[in-house]
Amino acid sequence: MSRKYIIFRAEWNEEEGAENRLLAHTGAITDILAEHFDSSDRPLPSPGYRLREFHRVEQFFDRQFPNASTHTRIGDWEVTRVEKYAPETMSEFEAIVVCYCRYAPVITPLEPMPKIQVSEELQELQSIDRRRDIAPR
């Protein structure tokens, strides 16, 4: 299995959507749209691939995970070209991939995400934590 670091970034001259690419801590605009660490054997993204957007629809949120996304959709950023770089020496990654994207809005439906599955062991730990929170002190 190979590890790939995939960076999705706006094309150098892309101004559209800039208001949605602000860094929270400085307010500066970034060109990086997303980063993926991929250990699968799936093919690399190619021109035409679109990033997915994640949304939280209030009426569908899970009390156990109140800030988790509830829906996803095919997004407005479309890959236009892909560059693949192989490290010269031993590296954590087999390849570093840069996917350049253009802002090309599309109307796509929101699709519900699968419910988060929690193991029995984690459920038991959460139950213990809740009992501690309500126990008299």
Question: What's the rounded Cα separation, in Å, for the pair 137 and 134?
Answer: 9
Distance of CA 91 to the CA centre of its chain: 24
Contact between 6 and 40 (Cβ < 8 Å): no
- Please state the domain count of the chain: 1
- pLDDT tens digits, 4-35: 999 999 887 766 666 666 676 777 777 888 89
- pLDDT tens digits, 73-107: 899 899 999 999 988 777 788 899 999 999 899 99
Question: What's the rounded Cα separation, in Å, for the pair 77 and 104?
Answer: 6
Structure confidence at residue 49 (pLDDT): 96
Strands 32-38 and 111-112, sheet pairing: unpaired
Q: Using alpha carbons, list the distances in angstroms from residue 106 to 2, 7, 51, 78, 93.
A: 33, 22, 12, 10, 33
Range of the domain at 29: 4-134
What pTM was estimated for this model as a whole? 0.72
Question: What's the rounded Cα separation, in Å, for the pair 110 and 80?
Answer: 24
